[in-house]
Amino acid sequence: MRSVVYNLIHNAVKFSDPEKSSEININTEAVKGFTILCVKDNGLGISLEHQRRNI
């Protein structure tokens, strides 16, 4: 879990938009015996051509 969180934060910083201030939000929520981890950033994202679609 430590490696997953590290990689999420590292990628958020590495692929940040140079035109914006970096913002990373990390939240957890307990739901039915599970812990949900949410990581959100305002980085560049993945271009449509590099996204896989399973339709």
Digit-coded pLDDT (tens) for 21-45: 889 999 999 999 999 999 999 988 8
Q: Is residue 37 domain-resident? A: yes
43 phi and psi, to 5 degrees? -75, -170
* Residue 44 belongs to some domain of the structure: yes
Query: Is there a domain that residue 6 lies in?
Result: yes
Burial bucket for residue 16 (CB in 10 Å: 0-12, 13-18, 19+): middle
pLDDT value at residue 51: 81
pLDDT at 54: 61
Q: Is residue 16 part of a domain?
A: yes
Q: Give the domain range for residue 13.
A: 2-50
The answer to whether position 35 is within a domain reads yes
Query: Is 55 part of a structural domain of the chain?
Result: no
Question: Is 30 in a helix, a strand, or coil?
Answer: strand
pTM of the model: 0.66
Q: How far apart are the first and last CA of the chain?
A: 30
Residue 45 covered by a domain: yes
Residue for token pair 């201030």: 21
Give the count of domains, the chain: 1
